[in-house]
Amino acid sequence: MKVLTRGTVTVDVEQCKGCDMCIPACPPGVLSMSREVNGRGYRFPILHPGCTGCQACQQICPDWVFEVFRYEEPIELEVPES
């Protein structure tokens, strides 16, 4: 299945304190918490296809973890049938 993806983010893994708040705040729900932990023992957000570059994660993040980008041309990313 193809998922339209308008943008992406970078995640500054070491800045994250694992508060999780970006996960439910992401409108398309394309963030989830990693299993691995960063240098301070916190899990951090990982990205899945479908990001719209809306900055919700960046706005609610208390620790400045996210850079947000919008592709000039949206792309299609493959995801397994859910």
Residues that bind another protein in the complex, under the rule CB under 8 A: 5, 7-12, 15, 17-21, 23-25, 27, 32-33, 35, 42-43, 46-49, 51, 53-56, 58-73, 75, 77-80
From the CB of 65, what's the least distance to another protein, in Å? 8
From the CB of 28, what's the least distance to another protein, in Å? 12
- The one-letter code for the residue type at 46 is I
Pair type for strands 45-47 and 31-33: antiparallel
From the CB of 72, what's the least distance to another protein, in Å? 4
List the structure tokens of 48: 């899945």
Q: What are phi and psi of 52, to 5 degrees?
A: -105, 0
Residue 21 per-residue DSSP state: T
C-beta closer to another protein: residue 33 or 39: 33
List the structure tokens of 76: 């299609």
